[in-house]
Amino acid sequence: MTYKYSLEFEKDYQEIEKKLAELKEIAQNKQIDFSQEISALEEKLKEYKEEKYNTLSAWQKVQIARHPARPTTMDYIAAIFDDFFELHGDRCYKDDPAIVGGIALFNGVPVTVIGHQKGRDTNQKIKRNFGMPHPEGYRKAVRLAQQAEKFKRPVICFIDTQGAYPGVEAEERGQGWAIAQILMKMSVLRTPIISLVIGEGGSGGALALGVADRVLMLSYAVYSVISPEGCASILCKDVSKSREMCEHLKMTAQDLYAMGIIDEVIAEPLEGAHINPDDTYKIVKEKLQSHLDELLNLKMDDIIDQRYKKLRNIGIFREEVLIE
Amino acid sequence: MSFKDIFYPKSRKKYITLPPPSEASNPQITGVETCPQCGSHNSENLLQNSLKVCPGCGYHYPLTAQERIWMIADNNSFSELDDRLMPADPLSFPGYADKLAKVREETGLKEAIITGKAEINGEKVVMGVMDRRFLMGSMGSVVGEKIARVFETACAEKAAVVLFTASGGARMQEGMLSLMQMAKTSAAVARFHQKGLLYISVLTDPTTGGVTASFATLADIIIAEPGALVCFTGPRVIEQTIHHKIPEGFQRAEFLLEHGMIDQIVHRKDLKQYLSKMIALHRWSDKQ
C-alpha cells in the first residue's frame, strides 16, 4: 500500500499496515503459514482503527474533510449519475469553474446537479480556484435551478468549499448580492431540492447551495459559519488557537444533526471516503434515492411550506418574561 | 428616567416617546469630536443639529439605533416589537455570555437590532434598525428571528418594510445557527415579495458578510448613506488574500452605485423625505 498524503492520526496505524503487508509477502514468498497470526493482527488493527475513528475530534474531522484525495463533486457525478451533460455560464459575465452544474439521469430520472468543484491536482485546483466561487458561479447555479423548476427536475446539490472567493473582482461583481439572490430564490423554487455536504462547508459560500428540502452530510464532513482558522484569528488574534476554536464551533455532522440543522448523517466507510470511495458512492446513491422518493410523493405546495417552516424554526434564543 | 427605561419600560405602554438625540446617552461623544474624514473639530451641539453629519466634509457619523429611530420615525409613532427576545448561548461558546452582559450594560441594548411599527411622514411602516455597537451588529438567532418577524408583521398589516443595516456579518459565537439566519431571513423576504409589498433597505456603514449576502441586498429599493462600506468580504481580509493594498473608496457607497449594486445614495438630511415619498409612490399599487 502506498500513501501519497497521510493525516497525523492515519500515520499511527498506516505504519503497522505496511509492516503487515510486508509480513504477508514474506510469508507467501517463503511459503510459511502465518495465516492465523496475520488474521489475529488484522483483527487487532481493525479494533484499534474503530476506536480511533469513533473518537475523532472536530479538528481531525476537518482534516479528513479537507483531505486532498477526498472525492469531489465530479467524482460523485461520474459514479452516481448517468449521461451527465455539463452546462456552462451565467449568461451575464462568464463561466465559473468553481461551480459545476448540468443535467443527468439519476436511476433513470432526469435531475439537475449543481456542486462546488475543488479540483485535485495543482492545475485543476488553479482552474477551479480551489472551489471558491465568484458571483458568476452562484448566478449560474440560480440559472440552472430555475431551468430545473421549469422542466420539473429535482435539484441535487453537492457542497464542498472553503467559502466564496474573497477577492477584488468578486466584490466588484457583487458577491454578497449573488449569494443573497440564490438563498432567496432557492427558498421558493418549485421543485424538490436535496443538498449533500461532501467535504468542507464554509460559510455563506457553502450555504448558497444549502437551501434545500433535505440537507444531508457525510459523517466526516464539516459545515461552519467560519473556518476554525478565521474564527481563531478574529476572536483570539492567534491562528494557533484554531484547534481549540474548532471544537467550540460545533461544525461536525453529528453536532449539526443534534441541533436540527441537517436532516441526516450518512455514515462513511470507517477510514473515510478517500480510502474507500466506491462504498461511499454506493451509500450516497442509496440515501439520495430514498430522500428523493419521499419528496416526489409530496405535493409541491407542501414541499415549499415545509422548506420554509424548517428554515423559519432554526434559531435558539430566550424570551424574557416580564412580571407585570 | 434613564434612557434604558424609555426603551424597556417597566410598565408597558403602547407607544414610547423618544427624546431628541441630544439627550441620548452616548458616553463617547463629549464636547468636541474630530471628524475622521477631514479632521475638523466639530462641537457636539453642532453635530446634533446637523444629524451627526460633519458640516465641513459631509462625513456621516455612525448613529445609534435610538438616534436613527428618532431621526426617521414620526414623533411618538414608534412602538417596539419583540423587545423581549434575548440572545442565548447555544454553543456555550467561551467568553460569549460575558461579552453579551458587558455590551448590554454599555449600550442598554438587548440585541443588535431594534424593530417596531412606525410612521414616516404619516406612511405606515414596519422598520428595523441595526446597531453596530452591539457586537458589531452581528446576526445571531435573535437578529434573524426579529427580521423574519418584521416581514411577517408587515405581511399581516400590508405595510412597507424599511431596514437600516449595519453589521459585521454572522455571529460566530452562535455557529451554524447564525449562518442559517441568512437562509431564514432570505426566505422571509421571498414570501414578503410574493405579497407584492414594498421593502426598502438602507445600507449604513458598515454592512458586511452574512447581512450583505442575505436580506440587506434583497430589497426592492436599495439605498446607502454616503461613504458607507458595503461588502461581503471586508477590505482587511481581501488585502491578506491578494497581498497588496486595495484602492481608496473600494466597496464604498459611491463605488457600489457606479458598479450598479445600489439604486441611490441618499444624504442623511434627505433620508426621511426620500423614504416617505418612495412609500407613497408604491401605495398606488395597493388600490389596484
Tell me the CATH number at B226: 3.90.226.10
Q: What is the dihedral of CA A205, B230, B154, B271, to 10 degrees?
A: -170
Query: What was the pLDDT predicted at A1?
Result: 45
Within a domain: residue B95? yes
- Here the cell at position A282 is 454506493
Residue where one domain finishes, among candidates B61, B78, B101: B61
Residue B161 CB coordination number (10 Å): 27
Q: Are residues B163 and B273 in the same domain?
A: yes
Residue B94 lies in a domain: yes
**DSSP for residue B254:** H
More confident residue, A220 or B248: A220
With beta carbons under 8 A apart, name residues in chain B contacting A180.
Answer: 186, 212-218
Domain-located, residue B1: no
Q: Let me know whether B209 and B106 are in one domain.
A: yes
Per-residue pLDDT reduced to its tens digit, B153-211? 999 999 999 999 999 999 999 999 999 999 999 999 999 999 999 999 999 999 999 99
Interchain proximity A259–B176, CB inside 8 Å: yes
C-alpha cell at A91: 449568461
Q: How far is A186 from chain B (nearest CA, A)?
A: 8
Q: Is B190 helix (H, G, I), strand (E, B) or coil?
A: helix
B249 and B281 together in one domain: yes
Tell whether B224 and B86 lie within a shared domain: yes
The span from the CA of A57 to the CA of A246, in Å, is 9
- 8 A C-beta contact, residue B1 and residue B10: no
Check pLDDT > 80 for residue B1: no
Residues B46 and B131 reside in one and the same domain: no
| ipTM score | 0.92
Same domain? B23 vs B104: no
Kindly report which listed range (B37-51, B108-122, B193-207) carries the lowest average pLDDT score: B37-51
Q: Which of A217, A155, A215 is nearest to A189 (CA)?
A: A155
How far apart CA B60 and CA B72 sit, in angstroms, is 15
Cβ pair A183:B187 closer than 8 A: yes
Q: What is the mean pLDDT of chain B?
A: 89
Provide the pLDDT confidence category of residue A77 given band limits of 50, 70 and 90.
very high
B51 and B88 housed in the same domain: no
Q: Which domain holds residue B44?
A: 13-61
Eight-state DSSP code of residue B60: B
Give the whole-angstrom CA distance, residue B231 versus residue A175: 8
Question: Nearest CA to CA, how far is B47 from chain A (Å)?
Answer: 33
From A138, which residue of chain B is nearest by alpha-carbon distance? B213
Q: State whether B233 and A261 contact (CB < 8 Å).
A: no
DSSP-derived letter for residue B139 is: B
Nearest-Cα residue of chain A relative to residue B180: A314
Residues B41 and B66 placed together within one structural domain of the fold: no
B99 and B144 fall within a common domain = yes
Residues 140 to 169 of A: which have CB under 8 A from any B CB? 164, 166-168
Does residue B5 lie in a domain region?
no
Q: Does residue B163 sit in the same domain as residue B20?
A: no
Q: What's the CA angle centered on A129, arms B235 and B255, to 5 degrees?
A: 30
Residues in B closer than 8 angstroms to A164, CB to CB, are: 213, 232-233
- Interface contacts (A, B; CB < 8 Å): 190
Nearest to A183 among B177, B183, B209 (CB): B183
What whole-number distance in Å separates Cα of residue A21 and Cα of residue A19? 5
Which pLDDT value is given to residue B27? Answer: 47
Record: contact B187-A177, CB cut-off 8 A: no
Q: Looking at the predicted structure, is the pLDDT value of residue B29 above 70?
A: no
In chain B, what residues touch A315 (CB-CB under 8 Å)? 141-142, 144-145, 177, 180-181, 184
User: Do B242 and A183 make contact, defined as CB atoms within 8 angstroms?
Assistant: no
In a domain, residue B8? The reply is no
Could you give the CA distance from residue B224 to residue B256 in angstroms, rounded to a whole number?
9
Domain for residue B225, yes or no?
Answer: yes
Is residue B212 located within the same domain as residue B147? yes
Give how many domains chain B has, as a whole number: 2
- How many CB atoms within 10 Å of residue B57? 13
From the CA of B180, how many Å to the nearest CA of chain A? Answer: 7
Note the pLDDT of residue A33. Answer: 81
In a domain, B216, yes or no: yes
Q: Looking at chain A, which residue has its C-alpha nearest residue B229?
A: A171
Helix axes of B175-194 and A175-187: crossing angle, nearest 10 degrees = 70
Q: Determine whether the interchain pair B259/A223 forms a contact, defined as Cβ–Cβ distance below 8 Å.
A: no
Q: Is it the case that residue B126 has pLDDT exceeding 70?
A: yes
Q: Quote the pLDDT of residue B285.
A: 59
Are B276 and B165 part of one and the same domain? yes
* B81 beta partners: B115
**Which residue out of B163, B211, B233, B246 would a mutagenesis test of the A interface target, given it has the greatest number of A Cβ atoms within 10 Å?**
B233
AA identity, residue A48: Y
Instruction: Tell me the mean pLDDT in the region A243-269.
Output: 94
Does residue A1 sit at the B interface (CB-CB below 8 Å)?
A: no
Which letter, b or e, does each residue of B112-142 get, where b requires 16 or more Cβ atoms within 10 Å of its Cβ?
A: bbbbbbbbbeebbbbbbbbbbbbbbbbbbbb
Distance CA A300, CA A247 (A): 39
Q: Is residue B121 part of a domain?
A: yes
Question: From the candidates B4, B176, B201, B246, which should be mutated to test the interface with A, based on the most A CB atoms within 10 A?
Answer: B176
Mutant choice from A134, A243, A316, A324 vs B, greatest count of B C-beta within 10 A: A316
Task: Give the pLDDT confidence score for residue B12 in this predicted structure.
Answer: 55
Answer whether A207 sits within 8 Å of B183, measured CB to CB.
yes
Place B246 in a pLDDT band, splitting at 50, 70 and 90: confident
